[in-house]
């Protein structure tokens, strides 16, 4: 039984394939076509999934898409009368979904009649919830999906039991926690798709000084509901202006905060304007108000469901700062957030919803690691490395696994910046030790060095640590696993001096806990780092430079050439710039020239 899940015609296009109830592969189109947040039709992702399953499109039994035109049709129609432009956009998207067979046939150069798979439309939030619960380790759990908007709803909650989910409640358009967060993110001068993450990082620098005002903007409304004060927004009048640009296939977002919001809170920050204390306090308040609503929602869900385990999905589930507070502010004891909690994860969710809820098959799979993307054979990596001549500038050495971990640990301890490329690419937006840039967390200056030499990010944004699972309690105040970097916990005050680089200004860190079973090589590297330095932690940031995370070894090499990384570990090979970081820039230039 082969089920292909496709998230298409929307940001974070992706594909996933489930064979006999087990996930075989999943990847975002952006990793393959190299367009960040790529929308459109994920032809390359589908091809990759089919290849991993050793199948052709004609072998697929079911195709699952996370969109249901019939869901909440009455509500959709009522809004369509008021918002014709928005309605037209929706109709266009629905038309595209209706033509998905034709798009598949065109992409795979066959006649649509040859595709025998049955097509299933899974409601957006059902797919989100399925993407978390059906791959979670829990037989029973409360489930919550919360995002901007999907199929005219912004959140849905359920009790998951075995291979079924029973819906407890939903919040429909225009009330939306995702819209709230995005509107305030825009107001603070961050307009790019996905910028919410930046404002969450900024929030730690401020105080929630405007909470009274923000409680007018968003508030809990009963146990499983919340409300927006629509005076502050525009999306309910003109529709959420989220579309995708055909030219470069990137998502575009229109302004969704109203003039009234500026009247109440003062003028919006312009993107180039310096960040002031006021902006920092606004960001802190925005986060605090979200947390108040989420805590109320989570507690309502705990009470209604009677469950001790919680599964989260939807863009709001990426709010690791809020997630880290679940354990102290609700009865939930265990929480599962799958690595692609946002819309990319819908391909996995739609496929598992078909497997369990449509085909009524039992559960037999847990997503306990994130490595579902492209992997490259040793021979392919060797070929890429062979293309780089050993030179005065770069030394190339092949090592066995234990030597590789020891040498890399020593490089990190020496303060070098290491590109680490191993195994299958991560599913979801976080680098989790397969496509990562690693550095010494003990050096307070490392954050600035990384920003100056490679990442070029805003200085207020934190970097994250990876930590040996066995050592989490030594360094953090919480020990609940965070294998996919979806929780931020306070670092123990007495240990903050030991890992200053990935400890945020508020004393927390968005950690990745690394277990031997899920990431054996990365676990060995962290153990080696612990032996070398006494601190089994690395600073782990994604292997990229303002682009999607590298996928292929060639892209890793290119990023190494382009930036001032000191060392690139590509499979079993170490490529080391011989010159110190003082001259790394010149070295990078010489290296690039030689290779060109
Ligand atoms: Fe969504």
Residue-level pLDDT, tens digit, the chain, 596 residues: 999 999 998 889 999 999 999 999 999 999 999 988 888 899 999 999 999 999 999 999 999 999 888 888 888 777 777 777 667 766 777 777 778 889 999 999 999 999 999 999 999 999 999 999 999 999 999 999 999 988 889 999 999 999 999 999 999 999 999 999 999 999 999 988 889 999 999 999 999 999 999 999 999 998 999 999 999 999 887 766 666 666 665 676 789 999 999 999 999 999 999 999 999 999 999 999 999 999 999 999 999 999 999 999 999 999 999 999 999 999 999 999 999 999 999 999 999 999 999 999 999 999 999 999 999 999 999 999 998 876 668 999 999 999 999 999 999 999 999 999 999 999 999 999 999 999 999 999 999 999 999 888 888 999 999 999 999 999 999 999 999 999 999 999 999 999 999 999 999 999 999 999 999 999 999 999 999 999 999 999 999 988 999 999 999 999 999 998 999 999 999 999 986 554 444 444 444 444 43
- The sign one gets for the Cα dihedral 367, 369, 374, 375 is negative
User: For 230, phi and psi rounded to 5 degrees?
Assistant: -70, -10
Residue 263 CB neighbours (<10 A): 11
Residue identified by tokens 């998230």 is: 7
The Cα-based distances of 488 to 137, 201, 514 in angstroms read 21, 11, 15
The whole-model pTM stands at 0.94
Task: Give distance in angstroms: CA of 314 to centre of ligand 1.
Answer: 5
CB 511 within 8 A of CB 472: yes
Task: Give distance in angstroms: CA of 468 to centre of ligand 1.
Answer: 32
Task: Give distance in angstroms: CA of 148 to centre of ligand 1.
Answer: 7
Task: Give distance in angstroms: CA of 126 to centre of ligand 1.
Answer: 10
Helical axes 378-386 vs 553-562, angle rounded to 10°? 40
Task: Give distance in angstroms: CA of 155 to centre of ligand 1.
Answer: 9
Task: Give distance in angstroms: CA of 388 to centre of ligand 1.
Answer: 43
Task: Give distance in angstroms: CA of 342 to centre of ligand 1.
Answer: 6
CB 416 within 8 A of CB 437: no
Which pLDDT value is given to residue 249?
58
Task: Give distance in angstroms: CA of 225 to centre of ligand 1.
Answer: 17
CB 321 within 8 A of CB 287: yes
Task: Give distance in angstroms: CA of 180 to centre of ligand 1.
Answer: 14
**Tokens standing for 61?**
């039994």
Task: Give distance in angstroms: CA of 344 to centre of ligand 1.
Answer: 8
Task: Give distance in angstroms: CA of 343 to centre of ligand 1.
Answer: 5
Which pLDDT value is given to residue 83?
73
Whether the ω angle into residue 192 lies within 30 degrees of 0, i.e. cis, is no
CB 200 within 8 A of CB 287: yes
Distance, in Å, from the CA atom of 440 to the CA atom of 404, rounded to the nearest integer, reads: 17
Task: Give distance in angstroms: CA of 127 to centre of ligand 1.
Answer: 9
Task: Give distance in angstroms: CA of 74 to centre of ligand 1.
Answer: 20
Distance, in Å, from the CA atom of 279 to the CA atom of 187, rounded to the nearest integer, reads: 10
Task: Give distance in angstroms: CA of 266 to centre of ligand 1.
Answer: 31
Torsion on CA atoms 316, 317, 322, 328, rounded to nearest 10 = 140
Strands (E), 193-257: 218-220, 226-228, 242-245, 250-253
Distance, in Å, from the CA atom of 191 to the CA atom of 252, rounded to the nearest integer, reads: 9
Strands (E), 115-190: 118-121, 140-150, 153-161, 164-172
Task: Give distance in angstroms: CA of 338 to centre of ligand 1.
Answer: 14
Task: Give distance in angstroms: CA of 128 to centre of ligand 1.
Answer: 7
Which pLDDT value is given to residue 248?
60
Task: Give distance in angstroms: CA of 237 to centre of ligand 1.
Answer: 21
- List b or e across 492-522, with b for residues whose CB sees 16 or more CB atoms inside 10 angstroms: eeeeeebbebbbbebebbbbbbbbeebbebb
Residue identified by tokens 């098959």 is: 361
Task: Give distance in angstroms: CA of 11 to centre of ligand 1.
Answer: 10
Q: Cite the DSSP H helix spans in 54-169.
A: 73-82, 84-98, 100-107, 124-133
- What DSSP designation does 558 have? H
Task: Give distance in angstroms: CA of 407 to centre of ligand 1.
Answer: 42
Strands 309-313 and 334-337: parallel
Residue 188 CB neighbours (<10 A): 25
| Nearest in space to 75 (alpha carbons), one of 158, 174, 190 | 174
Which pLDDT value is given to residue 80?
74
Which pLDDT value is given to residue 594?
42
593, with CB counted inside 10 A (0-12, 13-18, 19+), is: exposed
Task: Give distance in angstroms: CA of 500 to centre of ligand 1.
Answer: 35
Distance, in Å, from the CA atom of 67 to the CA atom of 346, rounded to the nearest integer, reads: 9
Give bridge partners of residue 245 from the DSSP assignment. Answer: 250
Task: Give distance in angstroms: CA of 505 to centre of ligand 1.
Answer: 30
Distance, in Å, from the CA atom of 561 to the CA atom of 565, rounded to the nearest integer, reads: 8
Task: Give distance in angstroms: CA of 157 to centre of ligand 1.
Answer: 14
Task: Give distance in angstroms: CA of 87 to centre of ligand 1.
Answer: 18
């Amino acid at each position: 039984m082969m089920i292909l899940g496709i998230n298409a015609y929307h940001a974070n296009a992706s594909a996933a394939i489930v064979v006999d109830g087990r996930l075989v592969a999943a990847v975002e189109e952006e990793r393959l076509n190299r367009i960040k947040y790529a929308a459109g039709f994920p032809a390359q992702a589908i091809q990759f999934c089919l290849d991993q399953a050793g199948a052709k499109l004609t072998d697929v039994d079911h195709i699952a898409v996370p969109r249901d035109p019939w869901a909440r049709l009455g509500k959709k129609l009522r809004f369509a009368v008021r918002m014709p432009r928005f309605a037209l956009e929706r109709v266009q998207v629905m038309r595209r979904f209706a033509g998905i067979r034709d798009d598949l046939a065109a992409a795979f150069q066959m006649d649509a009649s040859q595709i025998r798979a049955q097509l299933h439309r899974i409601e957006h939030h059902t797919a989100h919830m399925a993407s978390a619960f059906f791959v979670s380790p829990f037989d029973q759990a409360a489930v919550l999906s919360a995002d901007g908007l999907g199929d005219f709803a912004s959140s849905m909650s359920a009790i998951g039991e075995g291979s079924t989910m029973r819906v407890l409640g939903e919040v429909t358009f225009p009330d939306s926690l995702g819209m709230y967060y995005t509107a305030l993110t825009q107001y603070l001068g961050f307009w790019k798709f996905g910028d919410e993450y930046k404002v969450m990082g900024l929030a730690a620098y401020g105080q929630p000084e405007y909470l009274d005002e923000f409680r007018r903007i968003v508030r809990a409304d009963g146990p499983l509901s919340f409300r927006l004060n629509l005076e502050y927004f525009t999306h309910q009048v003109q529709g959420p202006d989220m579309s995708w640009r055909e030219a470069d296939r990137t998502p575009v977002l229109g302004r969704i905060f109203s003039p009234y919001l500026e009247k109440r809170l003062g003028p919006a920050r312009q993107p180039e304007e310096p960040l002031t204390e006021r902006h920092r306090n606004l960001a802190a308040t925005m986060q605090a108000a979200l947390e108040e609503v989420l805590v109320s929602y989570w507690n309502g869900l705990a009470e209604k469901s009677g469950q001790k385990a919680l599964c989260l999905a939807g863009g709001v589930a990426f709010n690791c700062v809020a997630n880290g507070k679940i354990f102290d502010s609700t009865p939930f004891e265990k929480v599962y957030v799958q690595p692609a909690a946002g819309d990319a994860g819908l391909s996995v969710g739609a496929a598992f919803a078909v497997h369990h809820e449509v085909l009524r098959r039992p559960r037999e799979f847990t997503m306990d690691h994130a490595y579902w993307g492209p992997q490259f054979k040793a021979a392919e990596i060797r070929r890429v490395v062979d293309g780089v001549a050993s030179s005065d500038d770069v030394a190339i050495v092949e090592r066995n696994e234990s030597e590789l971990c020891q040498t890399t640990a020593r490089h990190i301890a020496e303060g070098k910046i290491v590109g680490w490329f191993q195994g299958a690419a991560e599913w979801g937006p976080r680098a989790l030790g397969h496509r990562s840039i690693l550095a010494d967390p003990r050096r307070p200056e490392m954050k600035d060095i990384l920003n100056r030499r490679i990442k070029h990010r805003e200085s207020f944004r934190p970097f994250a640590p990876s930590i040996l699972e066995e050592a989490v309690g030594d360094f953090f105040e919480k020990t609940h696993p965070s294998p996919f970097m979806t929780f931020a916990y306070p670092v123990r005050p007495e240990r903050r001096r030991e890992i200053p680089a990935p400890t945020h200004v508020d004393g927390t860190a968005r950690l990745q806990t690394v277990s031997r079973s899920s990431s054996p090589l990365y676990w060995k590297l962290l153990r080696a780092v612990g032996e070398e330095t006494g601190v089994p932690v690395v600073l782990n940031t994604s292997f990229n430079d303002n682009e999607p995370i590298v996928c292929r070894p060639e892209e890793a090499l290119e990023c190494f050439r382009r930036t001032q990384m000191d060392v690139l570990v590509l499979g079993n090979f170490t490529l080391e710039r011989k010159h110190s970081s003082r001259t790394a820039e010149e070295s990078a230039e010489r290296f690039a020239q030689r290779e060109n």
